[in-house]
Amino acid sequence: MQIKQLEDSAHLPLFERLGKKIYLTAGGKILLEFAKEMIHNLDKLEENLDQLKGLKTGKLSIAVATTANYFAPHLLATFIKIYPDILVSLHVTNRKGLIHHLEDNDVDLVIMGQPPEEMTEELHAKIFMQNPLVMIAAPSHPFAMRKNIPLKELQDQIFLVRERGSGTRHAMERHFKERELLLSTGMEMSTDEAIKQGVQAGLGLGIVSRHSIQMELEMNKLSILSVKSFPIVRHWFIVHREGKCLSPIAQAFWKFILNQSEQLTS
């Protein structure tokens, strides 16, 4: 009956019976081709609508370095204005913690300093902003007035340092080591916030990301020391596991960060 209905609406015979076999007529063959094309297009339509739904209501899970937390929430705020119905979970941890997130593949995207060399093959990473590490002191510190201080002269100074596993700590130790200089470490602290407070209180010098001290510079609570070979030039990367199937919203965030790149650097 269905075949009959189809032939009636096409006003053409679509099948012919020869003996016990049924064959497609020329009209039937054309109809078959178009029907296949239509089914394919319907699948595509559904896929596109799902993507759109995903962009409106999807979940985004990102992990950022402790230091990146000074700018990441501002970026997220702008992103959420574009996609107000998405749900974001933000994990803030040090470099070691970020590497674990990448190994466990339990977040969509990671914002970190230099990605680990031993994972280069497994990661897709793009630079999106500079991350200069500067040396800071209390404004009353005798070095605060000097210019171009040779790093060697600072060997006897006590430095407040981040915990082991921090990218900032790793970069600062490497910087001294490459110049065959000793770094005298004082108190170990797990956030840039604590280091800034310690430096203001005169407990020692510190090396922190320039992003973390904007407010203290404006309020003249900290000074950036003019030291040769400083700032240590680092970069921020947006990273995901190679081959990871990013959700539409994660893809949108990836593009958003890279689009923002120029404004952020200026």
- Interacting residues toward ligand PGA by CB under 6 A: 65-67, 94-95, 112-113, 162, 166-168
Strand residue runs (E) in 165-231 = 184-189, 205-209, 223-224
Residue 183 CB, shortest distance to ligand PGA, in Å, is: 15
**Residue closer to ligand PGA, measured from CB, 166 or 251:** 166
Strand residue runs (E) in the chain = 15-18, 21-24, 59-65, 87-93, 109-112, 123-137, 158-162, 184-189, 205-209, 223-224, 232-241
**Residue closer to ligand PGA, measured from CB, 171 or 252:** 171
Residue 44 CB, shortest distance to ligand PGA, in Å, is: 42
Distance in Å from the first CA to the final CA of the chain: 71
Residue 75 CB, shortest distance to ligand PGA, in Å, is: 16
Residue 67 CB, shortest distance to ligand PGA, in Å, is: 4
**Residue closer to ligand PGA, measured from CB, 112 or 224:** 112
Do 250 and 238 contact (CB within 8 A), yes or no?
Answer: no
Q: Which residue is nearest to ligand PGA (CB)?
A: 167
Pairwise CA distance, residues 105 & 68, whole Å: 20
**Residue closer to ligand PGA, measured from CB, 60 or 72:** 72
Name the β-bridge partners of 160: 206
